[in-house]
Amino acid sequence: MLSRRKEQARSVCPKTCKPRKLQLKHRWIKWIFPIGGLLALLWFLLRVIPKPSRATYPCQRVAFPLASGFALWLAGAIGSITAFRKAKRCLAQSRYVLGVMLIAVSVGSIWFAQSMTAEKVVYADEPTANAPIGDAKGIHPGRVVWVHDPDATDWDGPGNGHWWQSNHTDQAVVDRMMSRAIMALSGEKTDTAAWNKLFEHFNETNGKGKSGYKKGEKIVIKVNYVGCIQVWSRRPTESINDYNLRSTDYMNTSPQMIIALLRQLTNEAGVSESDITVGDTLCYFPNEYYDMCHKEFPNVRYLEYLGKFGRTGAKLSTIPFYWSTPDADGKKQDFAPASYVEAAYLINLANLKSHNDMAGITLCAKNHYGSLVRKPARQSSYYDMHKDLPYNTPGMGHYRPLVDLMGHKHLGGKTLLYLIDGLYAGQHAKERAPGKWNSPPFNGDWSSSLLASQDPVAIDAVGFDFLWNEWDDGSHRSGTNDYLIEAALADKAPSGTFYDPDHKGNVTRLGSLGVYEHWNNPVDKQYSRNLGTGKGIELVKQTSAVKNTVSVLVSSDSK
């Protein structure tokens, strides 16, 4: 009897079948998505319904895709099952036409749910190395300075205080990094001479004569405080009662980097504190950063969305900003911020971050998504800047709103200097804290870097290469570097777009905004000017292992 049962079992389940115990052991796996999705949905609803502004918190931005995917999957499953059961009844009653239609509805419900929840990522091939396009900008055309000093950062990660605290980020080292970057960029041997050369070059290039900085001229420093973004709230004045950091380890522009830049401007360039504005028009200026900066620079204007607690509120000017796409027709008019229009110069102080959910990377160009004051920013009456980002529009040769931001006369057109704070690089909005880098020379430590350039395309191209090499995430989306190619060739854009953000209609086409190329390899990190093979990017490396002498560093990297 026992042997007969064994034979029957073999006939039903051949030797290739998994043992029943193993099948039961892994049966729980199929419940991971439903349970995880349900928990994410409950968490999102419980947190966001009482306070809608929480929808922008990093934890909610992570939970939302899983929650929405679960909701769509559940709706599709219920719709499919319901339609299928009705179809069976109709077929049993010989109501064949209606039965077939209901079967189609059942299949369509599943297809719709899968198509809505499927990841839309399209990955790009490795960019072509050392094939520069566009016209290089700067005193030394196409120059990007990379300063790397591991002594600037000393943090064990979340749970060990916060990265921005003075015992984890060394202000004196960051000051040296900023000084080295400014001198190497200009080729001068002192900070004062370096700033004077930067101002003279900018003014001469922009038709103001070869003059340096003049007392009373205003400067705006645009930082990236996306971890403190506040405009999504429908009632922002009621949704925030203090300016304490909500996400304490998020990858915002570091206060140490801001202080280092303010020290350079006031002590070396001769700019009065009262003529400097620093901040992000879409965010609040958090107490933790404000207290550190304001203590040393009490007369600087700290720009933010609302203008509470001694900060300066963002206001619109009467200078329009035009999008070079028909999609913006009929939408509410955008205007340049008043502080930008009043300023003679702008410094773009961005962060070194990938951008997993939309843009692929968020560097100097994307930093200007925080320059247009919208209340709220994604209000449907405005042109939606996000629809033309790589997530929604993958591939190459498309209109990219980043080019308009880079080229408008009161944004990119006024930018004296481009900086990327890479002390603690991170993955926005996937992670709530920065991550250590594994590639050399970082070798499991923080990125501890600063990038500087006068060329907006070149600096983002170098930042893109670093992010592409380190993380297999948003930077690898198809179309992530498309805006760099469009900007480099803005006068003859591959998309065919007539880029003219300063005029309604096609009046004055933008010229090339800078030079783009991809490095030869992630070890040597050399571009065409380093190799002497073209007129593209020159990467000047200033690492802690190299002598702290600008002339030696520049000449060694320029051969």
Per-residue confidence in pLDDT tens, the chain, 559 aa: 434 444 444 444 444 444 444 344 445 555 655 676 677 777 667 766 665 544 544 455 556 666 666 676 677 678 777 877 887 787 777 777 777 786 777 677 666 655 555 545 567 778 999 999 999 999 999 999 999 999 999 999 999 999 999 999 999 999 999 999 999 999 999 999 999 999 999 999 999 998 999 999 999 999 999 989 865 444 444 456 789 998 899 999 999 999 999 999 999 999 999 999 999 998 999 999 999 999 999 999 999 988 999 999 999 999 999 999 999 999 999 999 999 999 999 999 999 999 986 899 999 999 999 999 886 655 669 999 999 999 889 999 999 999 999 999 999 999 999 999 999 999 998 888 999 999 999 999 999 999 999 999 999 999 999 999 999 888 999 999 999 999 999 999 999 999 999 999 999 999 999 999 999 999 999 999 999 999 999 999 998 744 343 333 433 343 3
Residue 461 tokens read as 């191209």
- Identify any residues that bridge with 350 across adjacent strands, giving them in sequence order: 420
Residue 109 tokens read as 């419900």
Peptide bond connecting 34 to the previous residue in cis, omega within 30 degrees of 0: no
d(CA 485, CA 164) in angstroms, rounded, equals 34
* H helix runs in 57-123, sequence order: 58-92, 96-117
Place of tokens 């983002």: 460
d(CA 269, CA 191) in angstroms, rounded, equals 8
- Identify any residues that bridge with 559 across adjacent strands, giving them in sequence order: none
Sign of CA dihedral 93, 99, 102, 106: positive
Q: Per DSSP, which regions of 83-193 are E strands?
A: 133-134, 143-148
CA distances to 75, 94, 459 from 108, in Å: 12, 22, 47
Query: Long-range contacts of range 525-529, CB-CB < 8 Å, 24 or more positions apart?
Result: 525/146, 525/465, 526/130, 527/130, 527/132, 527/142, 528/130, 528/132, 529/142, 529/143, 529/558
| Cβ-contact 336, 408 below 8 angstroms | yes
Integer-rounded Cα Rg, in Å, for the chain is: 27
In order, the DSSP letters of 514-546 are: -EE-B-S-TTT---HHHHTS-SS-EEEEEETTS
Cα angle 266-269-274, degrees, rounded to a multiple of 5: 40
Residue 3, Cβ neighbours under 10 Å: how many?
7
Residue 429 tokens read as 């909005």
Helix, strand, coil percent values for the chain (each to nearest 5): 45, 15, 45
Query: What is the longest distance spanned by two Cα atoms in the chain?
Result: 104
What does pTM read for this prediction? 0.79
Q: HEC states along 393-412?
A: CCCCCCCCHHHHHHHCCCCH
pLDDT at residue 102, as a whole number? 65
Residue 216 tokens read as 């009373």
Place of tokens 């990265």: 163
Cα angle 40-46-51, degrees, rounded to a multiple of 5: 120
